[in-house]
Amino acid sequence: MLYTLKELFAKLGLPNSPSDIDAFIKRHHPLPQAEPLANASFWTPEQAAFLREARQPYSDWEEVVDELNGLLRD
């Protein structure tokens, strides 16, 4: 199953309307290239743990977490 950013934000307990997602990305952009996504200071410990797990190969969430990672760094 392929998840969307809307579903990822809901899973993380974050507001997930398109404008909320855009605002989140603008607020936290750019994430330093050397900082792993899950280590960013704006995640709760639970969110960070989920993101670490979600980036594992063959995770159903891997692709959308990679998408968010790219959006925060571009």
**Distance, CA of 57 to CA of 43 (rounded, Å):** 21
Tokens of 43: 């995640």
CATH class assigned to 5-73: mainly alpha
Domain ranges of the chain: 5-73
Q: Which helix (H) or strand (E) is 25 found in, with range?
A: helix 18-28
- pLDDT tens figures, 12-46: 999 999 999 999 999 999 999 999 999 999 999 99
Burial class (CB in 10 A: 0-12, 13-18, 19+), 69: middle
Angle between helices 62-73 and 45-54 (to 10 degrees): 110
Contact call for residues 37 and 68 (beta carbons, < 8 A): yes
Stated pTM of the model: 0.93
